[in-house]
Chain A
Amino acid sequence: GENVEQHPSTLSVQEGDSAVIKCTYSDSASNYFPWYKQELGKRPQLIIDIRSNVGEKKDQRIAVTLNKTAKHFSLHITETQPEDSAVYFCAASTYDYKLSFGAGTTVTVRA
C-alpha cells in the first residue's frame, strides 16, 4: 500500500515568515494530493489539493508543488499569521478512493 512520510513533525516560525512542509510518497500510481489543516479539537479541513497533471497550485498565501518523478510534494505558507497555527496533514490517493495520510506537522506561529 501507499506510504506517505511527512517532515518536519514540528515547525515553529516567526509571524510573517514562510513555512514549508514536505511529503514523500511511495506509490507511483498516486495521483491526488490534498493538504488538510486541523485545529485543536476540530475536524480536518481541506486547504489545498493538487492532481498529478499539475506541478504547482497557489491559493493566496498557500501553494503546493508536486514533483512526480521524485515522488514528493510540498506545502508552502507565506506571510504566516497566528491563525495558521495548527496541525497540517498531507495525503496521497490513488483510484481506490482512500487517502494515505502523513503523520502530521504541528505548526506554531510566534507573534
Chain B
Amino acid sequence: DAMVIQNPRYQVTQFGKPVTLSCSQTLNHNVMYWYQQKSSQAPKLLFHYYDKDFNNEADTPDNFQSRRPNTSFCFLDIRSPGLGDAAMYLCATSARTGLLETQYFGPGTRLLVL
C-alpha cells in the first residue's frame, strides 16, 4: 500500500508559470519534508513541517513556498519557475516520537521547465 503519495509524477510547466506539487501520506506522521534532487546529487532539503510549524532552510529561495492544510497533505508551490528549478522533488515523512525516526520518501515528482 502506498504510504507517501506524490502527484503528479511528471509535471511540465513554462518558464515563470506557477506550479503546485502535492504530497499526501497515510502514515499519520507529524513531520513532512520537501527535498529538491538534481541529477546525480543528494537530496537537498527545502523546508519541513513539524505539525503546523513551518521550518525553512536558510538557502531555500523565496520562489519556493509550502502549505500544509492538515496532517495528511502538504503542497510545494513554485511561484515563478526558472530553468534551474527543473529537478526531482521528493516529499518525505517521519514520526516525531522522542527518538529519531526513519524518513520515508514518496516516489517524487519530476519537474520540467520549458
Report which A residues bind B (CB closer than 8 A). Answer: 31-32, 34, 36, 42-46, 49, 51, 87, 89, 93, 95, 97-99, 101-104, 106
Smallest Cβ-Cβ distance to A98: which chain B residue: B45
Nearest to B103 among chain A residues (CB) is A99
B81 is an interface residue with CB less than 8 A from chain A: no
Counting contact residues on chain B (CB < 8 A from A), the size range is 20 to 34
Q: Pick the 4 closest A-B CB pairs, nearest first.
A: A32-B100, A101-B42, A43-B105, A44-B105
Asked if A101 contacts B48 (CB within 8 A), the reply is: no
Q: B31, B41, B100 — which one has the most chain A CB atoms within 10 A of its CB?
A: B100
With a cutoff of 8 Å between Cβ atoms, the chain A residues found around residue B33 in the complex are 98
Query: Are A97 and B107 closer than 8 Å at their CB atoms?
Result: no
Please measure, in the bound complex, the distance between the C-alpha atom of A87 and the C-alpha atom of B50, giving whole angstroms: 29
Given contacts A89-B42, A97-B96, A104-B42, A49 and B50 within 8 Å (CB-CB): no
The minimal Cβ–Cβ distance linking B25 to chain A, given in whole angstroms, is 13
